[in-house]
Amino acid sequence: DTQREIAYVGTIAIGTPPQEFQVIFDTGSADLWVPSITCQSPACKTHNTFNPQNSSSFREAGQPVTIVYGSGLIQGFLGSDTVQIGNFISLNQSFGLSVKEFGFDGMPFDGVLGLAFPSISIKGARPIFDNLWSQGAFSEPVFAFYLSKSKPEGSVVMFGGVDQNYYKGELNWVPVSQTRHWQISMNRHTNALPDTQATGIHTTHKDTDRHTD
């Protein structure tokens, strides 16, 4: 779903019984977090919050966490629970519960679902895509996005493969240049970092000058 032309968000459910949240599927980070019911920050007051006491499958890890983004940060603690994305269910999924949030006021989503590599996750927590793959949820370690520009609810995130209805021709597979972010090398240019949470193209002044010569 394209929310107010700011971000592409989707619905996930956490806990038993499930509690629903709107999250950004972010390829630029590796962690899943949602607001805790104990969070008193202004941003939390306008978003859905998770109540651990209402979930029979929740387990608290007791580890404090801080996750920093370009636009803000959250502070909280780690826990684990059952997480559902569409038809996929991730058991014992580690995730963060924010008790303080900075920079997320007025955002059209409750939390963030990171899809980058485990090497940049907090406290060694396994990202949800890797957890689903290890639990045999799908046959291919592939996720894909179709980002609609026109329909508010036309965007799709795919796990376990790529739906051929969303593209024409052959896919061109490009190797990643390191296993932290989804970083690729651009021939005779520079490294690039595809990020579903960012809207612009960022580079150095030196590279920009070379590109425009």
Count of structural domains within the chain:
1
Question: According to the model, what pLDDT value does residue 197 have?
Answer: 54
Q: Average of pLDDT values for 196-200?
A: 50
Query: In which domain, by residue range, is 41 found?
Result: 2-145
Q: Is residue 173 part of a domain?
A: no
Q: Is residue 150 part of a domain?
A: no
Question: According to the model, what pLDDT value does residue 202 have?
Answer: 47
Q: Backbone dihedral region of 27: left (phi > 0), alpha (psi from -120 to 50 degrees) or beta? A: alpha
Q: Is residue 12 part of a domain?
A: yes
Q: Is residue 81 part of a domain?
A: yes
pLDDT class of 203 with cuts at 50, 70, 90: low
Distances from the Cα of 45 to the Cα of 36, 65, 98, 202, angstroms: 10, 20, 12, 33
Cβ within 8 Å of residue 202, ≥6 positions away: none
* pLDDT above 50 (res 208): no
* Least trusted range by pLDDT, from 101-110, 120-129, 173-182, 195-204: 195-204
More confidently predicted of 148 and 98: 98
Question: According to the model, what pLDDT value does residue 62 have?
Answer: 82
* pLDDT above 70 (res 211): no
User: pLDDT tens digits, residue range 137-163?
Assistant: 999 999 999 988 777 678 899 999 999
The string over 94-128, giving b where at least 16 C-beta atoms fall within 10 Å of a residue's C-beta and e elsewhere, is bbbbbbbbbebeebebbbbbbbbbeeebbeebbbb
Q: Is residue 203 part of a domain?
A: no
Q: Is residue 123 part of a domain?
A: yes
Q: Is residue 209 part of a domain?
A: no
User: pLDDT tens digits, residue range 19-70?
Assistant: 999 999 999 999 999 999 999 999 999 999 999 999 999 999 989 999 999 8
pLDDT class of 213 with cuts at 50, 70, 90: very low
Strand partners, 25: 113
Residue 204 to residue 72: CA distance in whole angstroms: 23
Give me the chain's average pLDDT, please: 87
Q: Is residue 82 part of a domain?
A: yes
Amino acid sitting at position 116: A
Residue 20 to residue 167: CA distance in whole angstroms: 30
- With H, G, I as helix, E, B as strand and everything else as coil, classify residue 21: strand
User: pLDDT tens digits, residue range 56-93?
Assistant: 999 999 899 999 998 899 999 999 999 999 999 999 99
Query: Which strand (E) or helix (H) includes residue 186?
Result: none
* pLDDT above 70 (res 118): yes
More confidently predicted of 74 and 184: 74
Residue 48 CB-half CA count within 13 A:
18
Domain with residue 41: its CATH number is 2.40.70.10
Question: According to the model, what pLDDT value does residue 53 have?
Answer: 98
Residue 128 to residue 115: CA distance in whole angstroms: 7
